[in-house]
Amino acid sequence: MSIIYSQEFNSFYLSTPNTSYVLSVNPGGFLIHNYYGCRLPVCDMRFTAERSSQASFCPNSADLTTVPDKAPMEYSCNGTGDYRVSALQIRESRGNASTDIRYVSHKFYKGKPALPGQPATYASQDEAETLEILTRDNVTGAEVTLYYTVFNNYDAIARRAVIHNSSALPLDLERVYSACYDIPKGNWDICHLYGTWAKERTFEQNPLPHGITSIESKRGSSSHYHNPFVAIASHNASEDQGDVYGVSLIYSGNFSMQVEQDTEGDLRLIAGINPTDFGWHLEPGASFETPEAVSVYSAEGLGEMSRTFHKLYRNNLCRGPWKNAKRPLLINNWEGTYFDFDEEKIYNIAKDASELGIEMLVLDDGWFGARNHDRAGLGDWYVNENKLRGGLGLLTQRIHALGMKFGLWFEPEMINPDSDLYRAHPDWCLQVAGRPMSLGRNQYVLDMSRPDVRDYLFERMDTILNEAQIEYIKWDFNRNITEAASALLPAHQQKEIFHRYVLGLYELLERLLTAHPDLLLEGCSGGGGRFDPAMLYYSPQIWTSDDTDAIERLTIQYGTSMCYPTTAISSHVSVCPNHQTGRSLPLQTRADVALAGTFGYELDVTKMSDEEKEAVKAHVAEYHKYYDLIHFGELYRLIPPNADECAWSYVAEDKTEALLTFVNIRCRPQTRRCVKFRGLAPDKIYADQDGNIRPGSVWMNVGIIKTDTMRDFETFKVYLKEVK
C-alpha cells in the first residue's frame, strides 16, 4: 500500500517508489510534519518534530500541547502563535482572523478524486492512492480537508485543500494556500525560473538566505516574470547529485510561492494563490477548493526531479487524444506575413510547405474583423472576407486538398476599444467605475468571470470551428490585468475577481474541448507568459517564447525543461536575420534547437531558396526519425547554456537508443570540445552514426571528443543505437 496509518504512533506514512512522506497527529490534535525524503520503513518518526526549547517569546498553544512557532506544522495557520509564513487565514464575522485547525478524522482510498472546475493531475485506482484528513476550527466552524495523492509509479505527491463553512455565519478567506512543506535544517539553495517577455524561464540557483523569499505573480496570470515552480536543493546540487524538493503549482493566475528560513535554519515553503488582492466570501454551507500543488523529491539531483515531473505531467496531467499522439509538423505564417496577407498568399505558403513534408498550416492574427493592425478588431470574431474571399471554409478546403491540416489563431480574452463588440458591450471589460481603463497592446481585458462573456466567446468559436474544418487552435493572451473589478459582483466579493477570472477561463476551455474533443489546442501568452501546468490540462503544448532566435532559445528551453516535458515545448525554425535579435544563424542550428520540442516553422517558405528547401526536407526526415526518442525519451541536460556551449540528450526508457545535440556558441581556435552522455546502460554496446562502437560506460565516462575547430553557432548531433 502507498498509504499506511499507524494507530500506535498516530501517524500517516505516504510512500512512492523511492520516497516517504510522514505526518502525525500530536496530543493537542495538531497535524505535525515529520519527514519527507528517501523511502523509509514504518517506524516512530515523531521525534523529528523536536525543536529548541528556547522559545520564551513564542507562545504555547492554549492547551499547552505545542509551540506553534517552533513546530513543523503540516498546514500552518495565522494568528495563534505560528509567526512564520502561514498557509491559512480566515476572518470570521466578528472581524477576528485568528485561525486554528485540529484533526478530526481521516480516510484513504485508491485512485484520485477530480478537482471540480479546475485542472489537476488524474489517476486511476491502480495508479494512485489518496488520503483525506479532516480538520476543524472549533471557534469559527471552518472545516479544512487536506488531500494527499500518492502516485504508484512516480516519486510525486499531489496536494490541495478544501475549506468548508460549517457554521451559521459567513466567513472570509484571506490566505488559503494549497500546500505547506516544512523542511529541516540544511545548507539549502533555492532554484526558480525568472524572466520577461522574450526571455522567459531563466534558471537561477542561489543560496537561500534567512528570512522570506517570495516567487510570485500578481499580474492576473502566471506571467513571463516568474513561473509557479520552485525547487529547494542542497547547496550546489547538480543534475546528478544532491537532495532536491521540487514544488509546482497547477494554476494559471496570481500565485505565490514563499520560502522562509528561520534563525535555526529550518525551512517552510508554501505554494498557492497569491493573497494580494485575494479574498473569498464563504456563506454558511459553502466551500472553497484550492488549486493543486505537486511535489517531487529527488536524492539524485535536479535531473531526476525534472524527469519525474516530465512523466507525471505528460501522462497524468495532459489529456485527450493528443497527449501522447504524434503532433503535426506545422508552419505558422505570423513572422512570414504579419497582418499583410490574403487567401492566395496563405495558400501559396501552404502549397510550398506541403511539398517539403510540412503537415499543417496555422493562420495567425489578422483573419477576422477590421484586423489590419493590432489597434482594432479584437473581439469581432467574424471572418474578414476582404482578406479571405470565400471565407475560411473555402481556404480550409483548398489546404486540406494539399493533404495538410489547418489551424487558427484566437485571442478570446481580449478586446480592442475599436471593435464592434466594445461599442456594443463596454461593460464586458474588467474596469473600476470612475477610473480610466489602462490600455495594454491597444486592448482591454474581457471579464471572464461573466457567463454572458463566455457564452459569446463560445458561440463565436464554436460556429467558426463548425463552419470550417479546423484541427488546431492557438489561444493567445497578450497583456496583464489591471482595474480588476467586475460589474456583476457586489462590493464584498470584488476580491474574488482574479480567481473567478481564472475559473471562467477554465470553464470556457473545458466547454470548447468538450464540444470539439479532437481539437489540438496550443496555449500562448505573448509567447510563454502563461506557461504553467494548469494550461497543459487543456493545451498539451504551449508556445514557449516569442523569441525564436535559436541561441536565445537555449536558455529559455533549458529553464522550461526543469519542470515541463518536451511534448509541451513549442519550438519553431524562423527566418534570419531573426526578428527579435537581428542575429543570423545557420539553418541547421535553428532546426537542431527547434527539434528539442514540438517542432515547426515560423516563416514564409515561398521565399526560401532551393538549397534551403532541400535542407527543410532533411529536417522533416529527422523530425520523424527521432520523434519518439525526443518526445518520450528521458531528457539529460549535459551542459547548461553558457558563453561557449550547450548540450543535451534524450535516452529511450529501455536504454536502446539515444540522441545528443551539441551547440557551439562561440568559436575558440585550438579548443577541444568534450561532452559525455548520461543515462545509458553501462554494459550495453552502442554504435553511433559513424560506426564507432563502444560500451555505454565509455560513452558516459569518456564521451565524445571533437578536436576540429567549430564555428560560431555550429552544431552536431550523435545518435546511438544498441548493438545486439
Residues 217, 489: Cα–Cα separation, whole Å: 23
Buried b (16+ CB within 10 A) or exposed e, 604-620: bbeebeeeeeebbeebb
Q: By the 8 A CB rule, do 580 and 549 touch?
A: yes
Pair 331, 358: CB distance under 8 Å: yes
Q: Which long-range contacts (CB under 8 A, 24 or more apart) does 56-59 make?
A: 58/83
Cβ proximity of 284 and 165 under 8 Å: yes
Report the interhelical angle of 587-594 vs 610-632 (nearest 10°): 20
The residue from 155, 189, 546, 549 that is catalytic is 546
Residue type at position 107:
K
- Bridge partners, residue 244, by sequence: 233, 298
The closest of 291, 290, 296 to 312, measured between CA atoms, is 296
Residues 151, 280: contact at Cβ < 8 Å?
Answer: no
Instruction: Count Cβ atoms below 10 Å from residue 95 Cβ, excluding itself.
Output: 7
Closest CA to 167 of 134, 139, 206, 193: 139
Length of the chain in terms of residues written: 724
Within 10 A of 107 (CB to CB), how many other CB atoms are there?
10
Largest CA distance in the chain: 81
Instruction: At 206, list the grid cell.
Output: 542561489
Distances (CA, A) of 242 to 187, 238, 305: 11, 7, 11
CB-based burial label for 321 (10 Å; 0-12, 13-18, 19+): exposed
Whether residue 361 contacts residue 350, with contact meaning beta carbons closer than 8 Å, is answered with yes
Q: Is 115 helix (H, G, I), strand (E, B) or coil?
A: coil
Q: Is 182 an active-site residue?
A: no
Q: Which residue has the cell 463552419?
A: 467
The answer to whether 546 is a known catalytic residue is yes
User: Which entry of 172, 189, 476, 592 is annotated as an active-site residue?
Assistant: 476
Collapsing DSSP to helix, strand or coil, 397 comes out as helix
**C-beta neighbour count of 203 within 10 angstroms:** 21
CA distance 226 to 718: 34
Residues designated as active site: 476, 546
